[in-house]
Structure 1
Amino acid sequence: MFLLLLLALPLAEADTPAPEGSSTLVVGVFESPPFAFRDSHGDWTGLSVELWRTIANDLGTKYSFKAFARENLIAALEARTVDVGVADFTITPDQERHFDFTHAYFASGLSIATRRGVEGLAETIFVHLSDPIHLYVIATLAVMNIVIGLLIWCCERNHNPQFHGSPYLGIWHGLWWSFVSMTTVGYGDKAPITFLGRMLGMLWILSGIVLISIFTGSMASAITVNRLQPSVRGPEDLPRVRVGAISDSDASQYLVDRQIHHLSYATVSDGLAALEKESIDAFVGDAPLLKYRVAHEHTSRLWVLQHPFEREFFALALPMGSHQREKINRALVNTIHQPDWNLVLYRYLGHGKQ
């Protein structure tokens, strides 16, 4: 009698009812928004969690969620102590050596999170002044100033007391006049009086207006663009900046394969916090996870690059040789081809099928 009473009690952790006599699947899960996370009531939700609930409902399967740390869930799948892994699992050759996967239910890729306007004004000006093109322009202007200063001294030295004195002092006066004329400041303390000197002065002042306008316009444009756009604009920029990624992840393997030095972090939240504190300049990870975290926690200072790279396919994880795989796959394929699946994608990711 006591045994019958025990059998009649519902399982506390079961998430859905099941047909009488059916076994309860243990579904391993860990925090990985938007694929799996707890809502305000403490219940598991997310893209992969909702997919699993639909599959289990179609199959009439009883299950219970069991929370793990990421590495512990992977170990549990290898040890076959859980029946399904529900989170941000991606199909990779390395992981397929340790456990199995269902069909893919979503395709995306890696992306890069970086800061908005990472450089201050002084740093930005210094960076652009040291640019080879700007250095060439500055050197050209300096040489032209010296040449014009010498010419105006030659024209005025015997006729204009403002350019009299020793050659060194006279040349210095010529350089001073050349500089203030080029910048159109025109203090008026020195002015040519000879015909050749005035003709040279008019040409130099007109040239100065054009040259200074081009230079200042180029600098202003470069500074404005730099402060509106991040310092990292794609994966080709990663070798020259400080990079972070989750340890033992697809992103980490991508960086290792390309010999890009990077710092390792336990979670996406840890990596984005380091990025905001300027410990790193870029954080590489799965595009959906980065976009979700940045949109909900770091929208003012961070952003995620628009175009993912290194294609990834998300799937549910199963123990190697799981007898559940075939029927789960049939239900999964049926689910992702229903119109309601697009609504689920919009709810968690902000877009439909990719």
Structure 2
Amino acid sequence: MQGDRVKRLWCKGVIRLFSILLIFSSFFVQAQPQLKVGAYHCPPFIFESSEEQYDGLSMILWQRIAEIMQVEYKVSHYGLQELLSAAEVGEIDVGVSCISITPDREEHVDFSHSFYETHLAIAVKNRSYLDSFISIITNKTLWKAICLFLFVAISVGTFYYLLERKNNDKLYSMPTKRGRIAEAFILGVLFITKGPFNYFEFKTLSARVVTVLIAMFSTVFIASITAVLASSLTLEQLRFDVKGINDLSKVKTGAKQGTTASLLLSNHSIAHDTYKDMDALLLALEKGQLDAVVADDAVLRYMIKKGKGKDLFLDLTVLPYQLEKQNYGLVLIENSPYEEKINRALLQVRETNEWHQILLEYFAEK
């Protein structure tokens, strides 16, 4: 009997101990901190609805990371600069959006590994065919090429005229001196454009010898002129006044406020207007209030593509010039205890087929 009583007491003790352990374990589970996440509206990476619901590429990425880490979180809205400031003072644990990793920002906050790579690009409004035609006839390279061509043609024509005018009635048959000079010019033009005449067209030995030399020169000359004009007068280039970042100083340019695009323009001493959001920026370009805008290529292409579905931004296009590279990362507080886990989970998500399909859904041309 005594042994049974001891056994019952021992069992009760074990049960009580187990209950205490359960209570403590549940306490620690409940005490697990809820991460504070800041989101900055930046389609297609972050969409914010009026009900404070968040969607987009960056939010999908963060949701997958949180699932892998098995953490709870709460999302709050911030502007770009406010989000960076909140991370700097530890008000949030993670910032989620399309925020570029820059040396200046890394002086105040940390970043995760890059989760998307893009570059700054220029968007402009398509020009009319009349504008393109005007660009052709006012193109400085074209007129320089024409002047050079005429100079060479006149030089060649004059050279042959001095050598052949007294001996070659076939090439210089006009009765007047003015007519023969015109023939000399025509000869120079034809020689440069069509190549040398038959060797026996020339009567003097000097003309025949020089013909061989000029023939080689004219071949290289015409090839060079053609290459220069082809690169300068392509239809794509004639449609726009902007060929690169240096041309932005000559036109009215805009960028989103507080972005790396605005910083790039400032660093190049390019005066520009700033706008609070991309919709206002692109509408200003469409209405002719701006001649060009600079922003992240991925964001520009997405916004223009979506706008065209609503009959907006129909004449806007992104130029094929890559400016400064941009790498997007999640914003972290300095020395974040979650940094390593977040980076491991991020790399894991980036390798999945689901992530690649999501990227195609957002950015593939349809």
Q: Same fold (TM over 0.5)?
A: yes
Q: List alignment gaps of at least 5 residues for structure 2.
A: 1-28, 151-173, 191-231
| SS, match of residue 335 in structure 2 | coil
Find 2:358's aligned residue among 334, 337, 344: 344
Contact 1:124 1:226 (8 Å CA) reproduced: no
User: Hey, what does 2:108 align to over in structure 1?
Assistant: 98
Query: Deviation of residue 54 (structure 1)?
Result: 0.1
Question: Aligned in 2, Cα 1:135/1:341: closer, same or farther, shift over 3 Å?
Answer: closer
1:263 aligns with 2:277: no
Question: Aligned in 2, Cα 1:24/1:282: closer, same or farther, shift over 3 Å?
Answer: same
Query: Deviation of residue 299 (structure 1)?
Result: 4.2
Question: Aligned in 2, Cα 1:343/1:224: closer, same or farther, shift over 3 Å?
Answer: closer
| SS, match of residue 308 in structure 1 | coil
User: Hey, what does 1:43 align to over in structure 2?
Assistant: 53
Contact 1:100 1:320 (8 Å CA) reproduced: yes
1:320 aligns with 2:334: yes
Query: Deviation of residue 333 (structure 1)?
Result: 1.3
Deviations 1:276-327 (A, max 9, x none): 1112211111111111111111441101123433111110001222211111
- Rounded to whole Å, the distance in 2 between the matches of 1:224 and 1:110 is 23
| SS, match of residue 114 in structure 2 | coil
User: Hey, what does 2:317 align to over in structure 1?
Assistant: 303
Question: Aligned in 2, Cα 1:124/1:348: closer, same or farther, shift over 3 Å?
Answer: closer
- Rounded to whole Å, the distance in 2 between the matches of 1:267 and 1:329 is 30
Contact 1:108 1:308 (8 Å CA) reproduced: no
- Rounded to whole Å, the distance in 1 between the matches of 2:326 and 2:44 is 16
Contact 1:58 1:331 (8 Å CA) reproduced: yes
Give the root-mean-square deviation of aligned CA atoms.
4.1
Q: List alignment gaps of at least 5 residues for structure 1.
A: 1-18, 141-194, 212-221
User: Hey, what does 1:79 align to over in structure 2?
Assistant: 89
Question: Aligned in 2, Cα 1:125/1:337: closer, same or farther, shift over 3 Å?
Answer: closer
| SS, match of residue 56 in structure 1 | helix
State how 1:127-206 maps to structure 2 within 5 Å: 127-132=135-140, 133-134=142-143
| SS, match of residue 28 in structure 1 | strand
Contact 1:111 1:308 (8 Å CA) reproduced: yes
- Rounded to whole Å, the distance in 2 between the matches of 1:270 and 1:253 is 19
Query: Deviation of residue 45 (structure 1)?
Result: 1.1
Query: Deviation of residue 126 (structure 1)?
Result: 4.9
| SS, match of residue 82 in structure 1 | coil
1:246 aligns with 2:260: no
Contact 1:46 1:348 (8 Å CA) reproduced: no
User: Hey, what does 1:110 align to over in structure 2?
Assistant: 120
- Rounded to whole Å, the distance in 2 between the matches of 1:341 and 1:136 is 51
User: Hey, what does 1:335 align to over in structure 2?
Assistant: 349
Deviations 1:50-70 (A, max 9, x none): 100000011111011111222
Higher-Rg member (1/2): 2
- Rounded to whole Å, the distance in 1 between the matches of 2:143 and 2:238 is 20
Contact 2:237 2:243 (8 Å CA) reproduced: no
User: Hey, what does 1:66 align to over in structure 2?
Assistant: 76
Contact 2:282 2:313 (8 Å CA) reproduced: no
Query: Residue type matched to 1:259 in 2?
Result: S
Question: Aligned in 2, Cα 1:309/1:223: closer, same or farther, shift over 3 Å?
Answer: closer
User: Hey, what does 2:225 align to over in structure 1?
Assistant: none
TM-score by length of 1: 0.65
Deviations 1:55-113 (A, max 9, x none): 00111110111112222222211221111110011110111112111111111111111
Question: Aligned in 2, Cα 1:127/1:306: closer, same or farther, shift over 3 Å?
Answer: closer
State how 1:9-24 maps to structure 2 within 5 Å: 20-24=30-34
- Rounded to whole Å, the distance in 2 between the matches of 1:273 and 1:63 is 36
Contact 2:256 2:274 (8 Å CA) reproduced: yes
Deviations 1:207-248 (A, max 9, x none): 8xx99xxxxxxxxxx999379733323334323222111222
Query: Residue type matched to 1:291 in 2?
Result: R
Aligned residue-pair number? 276
TM-score by length of 2: 0.63
User: Hey, what does 1:153 align to over in structure 2?
Assistant: none
- Rounded to whole Å, the distance in 2 between the matches of 1:27 and 1:75 is 13
